[in-house]
Chain A
Amino acid sequence: MEELCTGLCSVLTESGAELGLAYFLSLLVGVLLVSGVPLLTVILLIWIERKVAARIQDRIGPNRVGPVGLLQTIADMIKLLSKEDITPTAADRVLYNAAPLVSFASVVLLWAVIPFTPFHYGVDLEIGALYFVAIASFGTLAIMAAGWASNNKYALLGAFRVVALLVSYEVPLVFALLAPVMLAGSMSLVDIVNAQSGMWFVVLSPLAFVIFYISSQAETGRAPFDLIEAESELVAGFNIEYSGMKFGMFFAAEFLHVFTNGIIMAILFFGGWMGPLYYESPLIAFAWLGAKGGLIYFTTLWLRNTVPRLRIDQIMAFNWKFLVPLSIANLILISLALKVMQELGIAPRDMLSASFGDLLPATAILLVINGAMILYLLGILRKRGREARRESHEARAGYPQTASVAGR
């Protein structure tokens, strides 16, 4: 126990606090500091999301409460606080109340392993990447619980679909996640960032990034994968029976999850805090991470507001018949190419000590392989798209009534 006590803890024991209490307090301060970041950003995120969505849809967005509508979220929170909270009599009360808590907690828990700067992070777990996958799937559990406990047919249908979607897209997500783990030779997120000092992993394995990006868009239930709130089909989906602050928690969890995924992608593929002058001050390192994560977050919002929703059968087919085989092929190709290069002595065995120059030949070869794969895939997609269009044209010419419902 004594060995665990350093930093703030030892300061507390020095000033006369009991060892156990001091240790607990120092941990608690750490937890509050780390969780403070997501809890504060989520207020801003909701405003950003609404403002970006408005701009894309040629509106102005919230602009009444506070300067440029910045306080709109606060006003909404106050409104939600004063809303009546309806629990349907038919609901399973315990699960019904637990679901929003689990949903939000699963996103906040992700921040425990996120390294903000080289020295500032909640905890640097040896299995950080696996922890990310494990905790992220708690969100799926919360949605299932919410849908089931609501005892509402729309909610249950929505939950089924969403869980099928989330569970399916977790497969390519994890396969893509294996690429940075493999390149860095570690699951610790700090090690993964450090291993990118020579070259960002997005350059070494762009396809893995694209797969990760698409599946994390699906994991957060954003368009084109927004079955999670298919308003026109399922009224609202799994959260139809929720109202007031409990609904607000699902809402906040989703918004925060999108941003968290942006940060995770910045860490895994874009070198996290790496950037000019990051070693000068932790603030600069933190700003780099925020800028990269924010940029990726912005592109996800852009995507969300641009593309239409896919049907469930299209979504599932895209995952199992395209994304999963692709992610496996990508993993095999990358690992094979890198291993051959390592055996030939072209690629370094340790990314951490490899400089930009050491990695150049390997990068060029991997880029060529990835580029060839992407071109091949685009060819396949083009061919399939043409076939599908021709079929739908023929179907429409023959049976004008059934064309729009075909495949539902």
Chain B
Amino acid sequence: MAQTPVQGRGLVAPVTGLNGCGHSGYQGADEMNVLNEWAFVGLFAVMAPVFPALPIVIAWLFRPRKPNVLKSSTYECGVETIGDTWVQFRVQYYIYGLIFLVFDVEMVFLFPWAVAYNEMSLFGFVAGFLFIFLLTDALFYAWKKNALDWK
């Protein structure tokens, strides 16, 4: 139950590196700041589903409950559903998914490249280009193989 001193924290913070709150800017975030930020995001992530859940729960208290077999059946414009819904689906979706995966992983590597861009040497810059080129290559391969055509 330690009492924390309030006075001078803002002034002391840049010196001691105990920047408890706010943005550390170009000096780079220290460990405590990062912890604080992610504690906030964590709590936000816990709270975020509560906001939509609240009206749904309130509605659950007030709403009428008159279910019957017909009402709870699958709605397909009045026609009875035939066969299983959860079946295999067309392969085109997988192909788009695969191409997306290639680019999504590429993106994760390109973000650090973009952040370091201004201080980057020519070598790092060209290496980034090579990386983009290799994956663009994959896109054109898929294109030429007609994998991008919706059939």
Main secondary structure of the interface of A (DSSP, over half): helix
Judging by beta carbons under 8 Å apart, are A312 and B150 in contact? Answer: yes
Bound Cα distance A317, B128 (Å): 27
Q: Is B115 an interface residue (CB 8 A)?
A: yes
Bound Cα distance A374, B67 (Å): 57
Contact of B129 among A88, A112, A181, A332 (CB under 8 A): A332
Judging by beta carbons under 8 Å apart, are B23 and A14 in contact? Answer: no
Beyond A31-B40, A86-B72, A320-B143, whether A13 also contacts B3 by CB under 8 A is: yes
Q: Is A368 an interface residue (CB 8 A)?
A: no
Main secondary structure of the interface of B (DSSP, over half): helix
Contact of B100 among A125, A160, A168, A235 (CB under 8 A): A168
Chain B residue with minimal CB distance to A169? B100
Contact of B44 among A10, A122, A186, A252 (CB under 8 A): A122
Q: Is A281 an interface residue (CB 8 A)?
A: no
Contact of A4 among B35, B77, B86 (CB under 8 A): B35
Contact of B111 among A27, A86, A102, A181 (CB under 8 A): A181
Size of the B side of the interface (Cβ < 8 Å), in residues, is: 84
Which of the four size classes fits the interface of chain A?
35 or more
Closest beta carbon of chain A to B136's beta carbon, Å: 5
Bound Cα distance A18, B75 (Å): 54
Judging by beta carbons under 8 Å apart, are B103 and A171 in contact? Answer: yes
Judging by beta carbons under 8 Å apart, are B96 and A316 in contact? Answer: yes
Bound Cα distance A123, B23 (Å): 8
Closest beta carbon of chain B to A211's beta carbon, Å: 14
Identify the A interface with B (CB < 8 A).
2-7, 10-11, 13-14, 18-19, 24, 27-28, 30-32, 34-35, 39, 77, 80-90, 100-106, 108-109, 112, 119, 122-127, 129-131, 133, 148, 151-154, 156, 160, 163-164, 167-168, 170-171, 174-175, 178, 181-182, 185-188, 190-191, 235, 240-241, 244-246, 248-249, 252-253, 312-313, 316-317, 320-321, 324-325, 328, 331-332, 335-336, 338-339, 342-343, 349-352
Q: List 29 A-B contacts (CB under 8 A).
A: A2-B4, A3-B32, A6-B9, A13-B4, A39-B51, A80-B59, A100-B52, A105-B48, A109-B44, A123-B37, A125-B37, A126-B34, A130-B111, A153-B76, A156-B86, A164-B92, A167-B96, A168-B100, A175-B107, A181-B111, A185-B116, A187-B115, A190-B23, A245-B55, A316-B148, A317-B149, A317-B150, A328-B136, A328-B139
Additional pairs, 13, CB under 8 Å, beyond known A27-B43, A89-B69: A6-B4, A19-B1, A19-B4, A80-B59, A85-B63, A86-B67, A100-B52, A124-B22, A156-B85, A163-B93, A321-B148, A332-B132, A339-B125
